[in-house]
């Protein structure tokens, strides 16, 4: 039985000969995260300079921001988005005309996080995992980091909006399951977020990190490096492939 988040696509090119018609959403998330992992190599000046401004360890910044990048397309879990290209596969969620796509997926992801994910996850299932027990007061500090990655189309996401017309309850559950699975895979460390000064220093590098996110998303969308895959597999196996 495969996880429910494998029923969502991120990239689609139906009808192209020799190429699968779509690329699964969790795989695209990990593609972009893998590019970010390489761009933030702790041995390289880019990561060292950003870490110095933030006053954190380069190794922490690499792993932490890689986790954030894996969540950049949460808005694509919306049935409204999924309905943009119907009929790709019976393995994907069925089109549902009750849900519309009236706002871009980057803003939808931010609304989903703020309104339906972060409080329930931090108070519930995430607390059962060791790395989420650290979260606590760091929950609010996570938001600005995710705003950076949700702005992967070159501008910050729209602050507020109604997600009920775009997301079904099943969509929200799939997104939640995916976030927990990625956290288990990448083991992010929340500890530095407990320091309010880190959040303040993030302002100084937020646009640099946003630019890195755009680059990671463009590179992570290249079929030259990340050919479309429609088959589910363990996230650990795909992650090792993506890192290559």
pLDDT digits (tens, 9 = 90+) for 26-64: 999 999 999 999 999 999 999 999 999 999 999 999 999
Q: How confident is the model at residue 105 (pLDDT cuts 50, 70, 90)?
A: confident
Question: Are the CB atoms for 124 and 135 separated by under 8 Å?
Answer: no
- For 199, the token pair is 């959040």
Which of these, 69, 43, 68, lies nearest to 58 by C-alpha position?
43
- For 237, the token pair is 């196996």
DSSP state of 36: H
- Whole-angstrom distance, CA of residue 88 vs CA of residue 78: 16
Identify the top-confidence range among 27-31, 98-102, 193-197: 27-31
Q: pTM value? A: 0.92
Q: For each of the domains in the chain, give its residue range(s) and CATH number, in order of start.
A: 24-243 (1.10.3210.30)
- Whole-angstrom distance, CA of residue 135 vs CA of residue 145: 14
- Whole-angstrom distance, CA of residue 166 vs CA of residue 112: 10
């Amino acid at each position: 039985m495969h996880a429910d988040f494998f029923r969502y696509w991120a990239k689609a090119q139906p009808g192209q000969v020799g190429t699968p018609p779509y690329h699964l959403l969790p795989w695209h998330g990990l593609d972009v995260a893998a590019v970010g992992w390489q761009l933030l190599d702790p041995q390289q000046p880019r990561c060292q300079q950003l870490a110095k401004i933030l006053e954190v360890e380069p190794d922490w910044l690499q792993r932490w921001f890689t986790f954030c990048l894996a969540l950049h397309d949460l808005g694509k879990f919306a049935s409204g988005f999924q309905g943009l290209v119907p009929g790709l596969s019976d393995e994907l969620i069925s089109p549902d005309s009750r849900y519309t796509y009236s706002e871009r997926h980057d803003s939808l992801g931010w609304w989903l996080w703020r309104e339906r994910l972060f409080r329930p996850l931090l108070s519930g299932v995430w607390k059962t995992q060791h790395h989420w027990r650290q979260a606590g007061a760091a929950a609010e500090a996570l938001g600005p980091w995710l705003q950076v990655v949700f702005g992967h189309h070159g501008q910050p996401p729209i602050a507020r909006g109604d997600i009920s017309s775009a997301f079904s309850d099943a969509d929200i559950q799939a997104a939640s399951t995916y976030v927990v699975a990625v956290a288990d895979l990448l083991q992010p460390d929340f500890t530095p977020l407990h320091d309010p000064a880190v959040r303040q220093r993030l302002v100084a590098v937020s646009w640099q990190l946003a630019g890195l996110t755009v680059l990671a998303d463009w590179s992570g969308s290249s079929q030259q490096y990340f050919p479309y895959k429609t088959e589910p597999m363990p996230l650990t196996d795909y992650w090792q492939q993506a890192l290559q």
